[in-house]
Structure 1
Amino acid sequence: MNGFKNFLQFFFSLFLKQRHTERYFRRQKILESLNRLGTGNRLTSLQYDSRKMSQIATDDVPAAITRLHSCEDGLTNAEAASRRERFGPNEVEHEKPLPAWRHLWHCYSNPFNLLLTTLALISALTQDLTAATVIGTMVVLSTLLRFVQEGRSNRAAERLKSMVSNTATVIRRQALDTEALNARYAGEHLHVGRSAVPVELPIRDLVPGDHVVLSAGDMIPADCRVLTAKDLFVSQSAMTGEALPVEKFAEIDKPFTSIFETPNLVFMGTNVISGSATALVVATGQNTCFGALSARVSETDRTPTAFEAGVNSVSWLLIRFALVMAPVVLFLNGLTKGDWLDASLFALSVAVGLTPEMLPMIVTSTLARGAVTLSRRKVIVKRLDAIQNFGAMNILCTDKTGTITQDRIALARHTDAFGTPSDAVLRYAWLNSFYQTGLKNLLDRAVLEHVALGHEAPEAQTWHKVDEIPFDFERRRMSVIVSEGDNPPLLICKGAVEEILAACTWIADNESADVRPLDDRTLERLRTVTQDLNRQGLRVVAVATREMPAAQSVYSVKDEADLTLVGYIAFLDPPKETTAPALRALAEHGVEVKVLTGDSELVTAQVCAQVGFGHAHVLTGPQIDSMSETELADAASKHQIFARLTPQHKERIVHALRNGGHVVGFMGDGINDAAALRAADIGISVDTGVDIAKEAADIILLEKSLMVLEEGVLEGRRTFCNMLKYIRMTASSNFGNVFSVLVGSAFLPFLPMLPLQLLVQNLLYDLSQTAIPFDSVDRALIAQPLKWNPRDIGRFMIFFGPASSVFDIATFIIMWHVFGANSEAHQSLFQSGWFVEGLLTQTLIVHMIRTPQRPFIDSRAAWPLMLMTVIIAVIGIALPNSPLGGYFGFQPLPLSYYPWLAGMILGYAFLTSLMKKIYIRQFGW
């Protein structure tokens, strides 16, 4: 018995090692893994050319360009294509699918196929060629079925992934005069040559020698040398673990011991927080530091997700059960029948029957089909196992602009500081929006569109850009420095009202056409004006100016001081018509929506009130700053609207909600949302979001709408329900079979079923389950969030499993006493009767426990599952009576058997329905 147990453990150990090696459930989160790996000395052991990067860093700009065989205006398309053939696409290896031969081996090398192969070999050695052929056919069929199904799933996943791709702005030499572009991109941080133009290209198309333009929100697309930079701050936390952004420059004035400390190098996988730059691509794909580290990560086992842990726990439950029961079956049959070889084969067959051999294929098929179905609903799933969290989500945190509102911001007012309409303020705002090259938001576009519709604006030809001070989320403002003709430079700053006022010491008074000091009394009056605009649902942006010395050529944040407030521009973004119905639908399905925004509390409250939030109290960022983690956890659960938030505030709120036991989704598309997207159980972004937001998200929406999200949540729950069906049915059915086998082995003078017959029954049952991914789901089952709970599955298995054993034992009694199958001479009749009854009741259980309602009456399975059930039932009844029956050890059953069979099936359906009512009353469904 110990030898048999060791034999099984050997094959299971092979299986588990294989699954960890191949990572059946693929979840590539390299950025998170890099933090666990660290860098330091480990980097030197990787295939990464840090020496080349160091040389590039010490070169001046012309020398760096020459070393990469590029030129100051970038590469031509032809040069880039030639280099792409040499260096390959700008991708890391872990994204490539498995080769076909390796995938085929992966599909074969699981414990179930290994056990079947062992049975086939033993059968061949004992001259039982029929059994060997049938078992071999089963192995081939199961392997090919999984190979084909997984291949289709993987191809579908790749197609979905290709729908969402990040791009980079690349400077390519072309036959094009770009003087107009130079007027737009003037300044030392970006200069476009006469034969070059910025173009948007997929990141995978970049090659060494390319010049890329970087701005706030961009992912660094490759390992690069900075050529020009303006207030460029990069987050390197994914590579180094540094919490704060690092400023990067074009030149260095001293050597550095680590390439990560070198201020003119930026690396793939990091992202731009603020500022802008042009950079020279040095290394791409697997030759980057990110590529080298990802290769190391792919060789390291990762921590299973909650979903994987749940599936594995069920698998191990049944595997441990098989490891215990198979030796018991071997012992009982060996002692009672005296034929230890047959007993061993039967025990192996029982072990196979108790293990969920179709679980990997069913899970993958269900998830893949769910992902494809979600894609038709404009929801792209980046990670298949994210579907589980999608269905379990009970709190959704979302931004306001574009989700609650129409995302069609229009400039509604342009006034002076006291609320009087002013065209001068519009001209200043237009100059600021037109000449800035950082992260252009909807407000900038609204200003430009407003002027393009015919409103007065300065002539672009009379102005030229001197410099700019990019936006960041600490200052919440940005400035451009422009000059008209030979006049002194003018700094034009626009941003959040409070942040602009904090930098102002003067105010332009249109009534007196003069500038006067900004005192406390005037400040109170100004705040009244802006609050009145906010109460009308308008988002207010302040505009201020300052004349700069003519001799000054370099500008920084410290120049945003001693400003003169000139007025405001106010924007209207009305709520979507679908927002209120979507909020009601989400609430009905157990998902509470919370709004997290950086906008003012007055505007946010006004907009939220229009879509059904009522007069909910708004919690602001400054209030959160004074809260402890415990206080924030309590406040986050009570409030629905949060305003004036920084990225850190959003992240803290998400963590507080998760620590309160909620499954939290976060929906955002900006750079300020990236931290919260990573902190949430499920990050949701849109295909128009910035690169870092899309990289951090698990789900990508092709339309930024709560209605689309609500449909996606329901589809995610349907997918999860279908997975639970198979796991529940397999667990309960297998658990019941073991009792039947033990009873039959203890009291019968022959095997209750031949090993080959047991394997065929198991194969037919598993084939009937392949249609589960296509099954329908009761509305009541997806009305509320679904959580993965392995303990519920164990309870379900123990509760429903023995029900089938009752009728298995009844079949034993009927075959023994009614049909006289009570000796070895008539064992084939006994085995044929139990084979048919066991297969039909196993198949029936699919329909009985797939729903808490009455099967076939209140809830009917989808036609693919119904069809597979009928086909398998017909095969099961026909097989003992067919010419093939003799090969499997069957014999035709008398007609008088079938009324008894019908009674068994009806009795089983009645008992299961009764137990289902008791189970629902005690534990729910």
Structure 2
Amino acid sequence: MNLTLLKEFFAGFLRTRHIARHFRRLALLESINDTTVSREVPPTLAQTLVSAANSDTGLLLDNLGSHSDGLSEAEADTLREQFGLNEVEHEQPLPWWVHLWHCYKNPFNLLLTLLAVVSWFTEDIKAAVVIFSMVVLSTLLRFWQEAKSNQAADALKAMVSNTATVMRQGAQRIELPIKQLVPGDLIVLSAGDMIPADCRVLSAKDLFVSQAAMTGESMPVEKFPRQQDSDTSNPLDLDNILFMGTNVVSGSAIAVILTTGNSTYFGALAQRVSATDRAPTSFQNGVNKVSWLLIRFMFVMAPLVLFINGFTKGDWMQALLFALSIAVGLTPEMLPMIVTSTLAKGAVFLSRKKVIVKRLDAIQNFGAMDVLCTDKTGTLTQDKIFLARHVDVWGEESDDVLEMAYLNSYYQTGLKNLLDVAVLQHVEVHRELEVATAFAKVDEVPFDFTRRRMSVVVAEHDRPYHVLVCKGAVEEILAGCTRVRHGDNDEPLTDELLARIREVTASFNEEGLRVVAVAARHTPKDQAVYSIADEQQMTLIGYVAFLDPPKESTAPALRALAAHGIAVKVLTGDNELVTAKICREVGLEQQGLLMGNDVERMSDAELAVAVETTNVFAKLTPSHKERIVRLLKGNGHVVGFMGDGINDAPALRAADIGISVDSAVDIAKEAADIILLEKSLMVLEEGVLEGRRTFANMLKYIKMTASSNFGNVFSVLVASAFIPFLPMLPMHLLVQNLLYDISQIAIPFDNVDAEMLKKPQRWQPADVGRFMLFFGPISSIFDITTFALMWYVFDANTPDHQTLFQSGWFVVGLLTQTLIVHMIRTPKIPFLQSRAAMPLMVMTGIIMAVGIFLPMGPLAHYFKLQALPSLYFVFLPLILLAYMGLTQAVKGFYIRRFGWQ
């Protein structure tokens, strides 16, 4: 058997590639960053992009069949028929016959087919039929289960889709799924948006795009409506071209789509690296390690069986067939199906709890998670912010501040956050002030996470100046202010006033209010274009303060997560006083506090120590969040990160499991592994428990398979050395293995003890090996007892009576192998303290009944078995009870010594 073939089989099959095909964009972008992948744009596409970059806007739109106000619905439909959907189809669903072939062509089925062919040519027709039936059943089971899993996963993923804002003729702006976009569509972009196709910028305001995945540049790149250097030939260096898969960091723009789907630069790269999968997760590595543990064991034991039987019996062909049967019996051939079906069942269960699983492996990561990093707003709090105060610098109620804040929120075109929504929804403004009709917008300076502020410039009718209104974090606004509004007068900003300002804002923070400062300045009326440089010499007008009350479910959810061994850490860009107040209200005991400035000053080594003892981090930038998550992972934690903003995307990518919500910005949803339809920590607890339940059921199968297979082989070695005939025919081993495997199909639906859900669970291959060595020989003790029983009591001690001997061991072997399911599925006493789920009880009961029926019924001669004497069934219960008693005793010792995962 080819070791490389086996390795490729396990590496490929144990990944659920077929289930994740629509959500590999980020993995693909990561692979694009690999230096082994050329970043050269295909010549035809390069020519198209360069030509579009240098084209006049009107001519470009004409060439694309578009217009300055976008396409009509009819034109878009026609183009969609011509170009197809805007999807990078780097991994097409397999036709059913190809899928069926893939389900068959693994080393284990090939080995069984070889056995069937050899049996056929040696005129053992019955054995050939049984073995071939095993192959067909195994293949069809896997085919059916994977097809069902695919359908379930696709149905779930269809519930989550990214959209783009598209301009349609008639001055309409509509939200369309990204896959519906066509060349010629005009799209509106703002901070947080994914670029849905290769586009040419038509108009832009402070547009910064992150295209690190394409170019390797860590800093965002500013894009403009016009190409500065007409000699530029590399599309990646063009000033006005946007690429699919990148994202808008800040600013706004209108762009026209040039190419879609596979015709984009991203699509061209996708075709080149479509064979490159996402790096194996800790889950995949764990499964692979356990599988290779069993395979290495097979490569040791099968040759031993071959040589012992060959030398002692003299029939090398029969010995070879028997050794091959042992090899098949040792292989965990049902593991891939158990893994896939268990994960798929978990995904369907979570969908009922309003959790959409984009990548099935994430379910197990949920169970392994021991640290959850979360933002404050909308997670600990209600995600419904109320404008509680609008006050001047001295803390007195002020309509001027409200008017300025409203102007800023009303006229900005970037990403409107919850604070803007709260201002715009404020009843007093809409009903009484009606300021929007009195002003006209001139320009804006969009928000970014470095400045933490944004400005709009407006012109009031008949006024000889423009007004720049700036709104943002208090410290960042103060950095651009030189004066303070006091009544109708402006005063210089002195140290005394600065102290007073901080005292007022701190008092609001201690009340749990989030404070946003508002400043303004007059500028010349002839100035038309504004930038960050204009945010200086401003006058502080006052503050708007917002209340974001904690959710009622947060406190019990945090207690539940703590009870399940998960440490919650708050990572927020908000003020430390507001964060501390919210943490107190939800019962999260603060253990240390680190500010963004502290994080900046610390080395990685220092911060790696600090993150272990600190659970509240405030005033963080996106890079700070990512760094904290990365260091927690480096410390050996399985880290989940929950966020919904553009500033959360880097941390979502860095985490073991990224969690977002369906209302999140595109880049956050794209980076996440899990999408919550309800932004609640209680939903997370459900996910964690299901992840642990899923893992526990997979581990049951591995423990059962490892221990029972080891016991069988150990018994075979003993019997082969001392018995003058084969203790069991190859066909008997294969039938026994087939029946046992069928009994395992119900494991994904089994119950899990509550104690098994309390702590995070991970793959520990060394523990599986130790478990196998402890529990495998127990069945061998009773196998050897059965040998003695058949040899001395029933006189099955010559080749003429080997069928009786083999029938006796066949029944005991199958029944003990099936009973181990119930013994090992729980650390408790089975049937009394912990019962299996009804599907598993029924399935194991049926298999045990079939095991007794085969030698006793009319099919016995087909399987080369014979009816057992009545006295045998007097001894059989005693053997089984003794087996269960000894297993339970060893289990108690094992738990006391090593624990029970």
- Alpha-carbon displacement from aligned partner over 1:162-188 (angstroms, at most 9, x marks no partner): 111111111112xxxxxxxxxxxxxxx
Give the equivalent residue in structure 2 for 1:500. 477
By how many angstroms is 1:454 displaced? 5.6
> Any idea what SS the aligned residue of 2:38 has?
helix
Q: Distance in 2 between matches of 1:761 and 1:266?
A: 61
| Residues 666-677 of structure 1: pairs in structure 2 closer than 5 A | 666-677=641-652
Distance change (3 Å), C-alpha of 1:536 and 1:95? farther
Please give the per-residue CA displacement for 1:798-852, whole angstroms capped at 9, x wherever unaligned.
1111111111111111111111111111111111111111111000001001111
8 Å contact from structure 2 (residues 608, 635) kept in 1: yes
Deviation per residue, 1:441-490 (Å, 9 max, x gap): 00011011113786532343332211111100111111111122232321
1:476 to 428, 449, 452: 452
How far off its partner does 1:30 sit? 4.3
Please point out which of 351, 358, 361 is paired with 1:385.
361
Q: Give the counterpart letter for 2:617 in structure 1.
A: F
* Alignment partner, residue 650 of structure 1: 625
Aligned counterpart, 1:874: 849
Match of 2:837 among 852, 862, 868: 862
Contact 1:430 1:451 in 2 (8 A): no
Of 784, 792, 804, which residue of structure 1 is paired with 2:759? 784
CA contact (8 A) 2:14 2:288 kept: no
Q: Distance in 2 between matches of 1:525 and 1:622?
A: 23
CA distance in 2, matches of 1:546, 1:44: 48
- Quick check: 752-761 or 627-636, which moved more? 627-636
Per-residue CA distance 1:282-313 (angstroms, 9 max, x = gap): 11111111122122222236542222222112
Alignment of 1:38-437 (within 5 A): 38=33, 42-44=38-40, 49-173=45-169, 195-254=170-229, 255-300=231-276, 303-437=279-413
Q: Distance in 2 between matches of 1:240 and 1:44?
A: 10
Say whether the 8 Å CA contact 1:430–1:457 is kept in structure 2.
Answer: no
Aligned to 1:580: 555
Question: Against the structure 1 CA distance between its residues 640 and 9, is the aligned structure 2 distance closer, same or farther, given a 3 Å change threshold?
Answer: closer
Contact 1:451 1:457 in 2 (8 A): no
Give yes or no for the alignment of 1:680 onto 2:676: no
Structure 1 residue 613: Cα displacement: 2.5
Question: Which residue of structure 2 lines up, in the alignment, with residue 4 of structure 1?
Answer: none
For the residues of structure 1 that align with 2:325 and 2:455, how far apart are their CA atoms?
A: 75
Cα deviations by residue, 1:619-666 (Å, 9 ceiling, x for unpaired):
211122222222212221111111111111111211222222222111
Amino acid paired to 2:727: P
Q: Tell me whether 1:909 sits opposite 2:884 in the alignment.
A: yes
Partners of 2:791 and 2:2 in 1: CA distance: 33
Alignment of 1:541 onto 2:529 = no
Distance 1:17 1:413 in 2: 59
Once the two structures are superposed, what CA deviation does each residue of 1:309-334 show, in whole Å capped at 9, x if it has no partner?
22112222222222222222122222
Following superposition, the deviation at residue 125 of structure 1 comes to 1.6
- In structure 2, how many angstroms separate the alpha carbons of the residues matched to 1:23 and 1:702? 24
Paired with 2:27 and 2:144, the residues of 1 have a C-alpha distance of: 32
Asked if 1 retains the 8 angstrom alpha-carbon contact of 2:329 and 2:734, the reply is yes
Q: Which residue of 2 aligns with 1:567?
A: 542
Aligned to 1:182: none
The one-letter code sitting in structure 1 at the alignment partner of 2:77 is A
| Corresponding residue of 1:12 | 6
Pick one of 845, 850, 855 that aligns with 2:820. Answer: 845
Q: 1:45 to 1:564 in 2, by over 3 A?
A: closer
Please state whether the residue corresponding to 2:725 is helix, strand or coil: coil
Secondary structure of 2:49 counterpart? helix
Q: What is the total number of aligned residue pairs between the two structures?
A: 896
The question of 1:826 aligning with 2:801 is answered yes
User: Which letter does structure 2 place at the counterpart of 1:888?
Assistant: F
1:902 Cα deviation from its structure 2 partner: 0.7
Cα contact 2:9–2:106 (8 A) shared by 1: yes
Contact residue 591 and residue 613 of structure 2 kept, 8 A: no
* Cα offset, 1:266, TM superposition: 0.7
> 1:69-111 CA distances to partner (integer Å, 9 max, x unpaired)?
2111111222222222222211111353222122111110111
* Structure-2 separation of matches of 1:48 and 1:709: 47
Select between 25-34 and 409-418 the one with higher mean Cα deviation: 25-34
Alignment deviations for residues 683-742 of structure 1 (CA, whole Å, 9 cap, x no partner): 111111111111111111111111111111111110111111111111111111111111
- The partner residue of 1:31 within 23, 26, 35 is 26
**Partner of residue 417 from structure 2, selected from 441, 447, 452:** 441
Task: Name the TM-score, length of structure 1 as normaliser.
Answer: 0.94
1:907, 1:122 → 2: CA distance?
39
- The answer to whether the 8 A contact 1:14-1:111 is kept is no
Q: 2:655 & 2:833 partners in 1: Cα distance?
A: 38
* Deviation at residue 33 of structure 1 after TM alignment: 4.5
* Distance across 1 between alignment mates of 2:866 and 2:544: 89
* C-alpha RMSD over aligned residues: 1.9
Cα distance in 2 between the residues matched to 1:13 and 1:665: 30
Displacement of 1:743 after TM fit? Answer: 1.2
Verify the 8 A CA contact 1:25 1:308 in the aligned structure 2.
no
Superposed CA deviations along residues 244-286 of structure 1, whole A, max 9, x for unmatched, are 0000001012132421111101111111100000111111111
Task: Out of 19-28 and 427-436, give the one that drifted further.
Answer: 19-28
* 2:268 aligned partner, one-letter code: A
Letter in 1 for 2:534: D
Task: Please tell me whether the aligned partners of residues 11 and 114 of structure 1 are also in contact (alpha carbons under 8 angstroms).
Answer: no
Contact 1:25 1:385 in 2 (8 A): no
Name the SS of the counterpart of 2:123 in structure 1. Answer: coil
Please point out which of 742, 746, 750 is paired with 1:767.
742
Which residues of structure 1 form unaligned runs of 5+? 1-6, 174-194
Shift of 1:39: 8.2
One-letter amino acid of the counterpart of residue 768, structure 2: I
Unaligned ranges ≥5, structure 2:
none
Which amino acid is 2:255 matched to?
A
Contact 2:14 2:336 in 1 (8 A): no
Does the Cα contact within 8 Å between 1:221 and 1:269 map onto a contact in 2?
yes
**Alignment-derived partner of residue 509 in structure 1:** 486
- Secondary structure of the structure 2 residue equivalent to 1:370: helix
Measure the CA separation in 2 of the matches of 1:234 and 1:782: 43
Question: What SS does the aligned partner of 2:433 have?
Answer: coil
Closer, same or farther: CA 463–26 of 1 in aligned 2, 3 Å: closer
Aligned to 1:887: 862
Deviation, structure 1 residue 29: 4.4
Amino acid at match of 1:55: S
CA–CA separation in structure 2 for the residues paired with 1:769 and 1:262: 58
User: Matches of 2:863 and 2:53 in 1, distance apart?
Assistant: 74
Output the amino acid matched with 1:250.
P
CA distance in 2, matches of 1:469, 1:292: 35
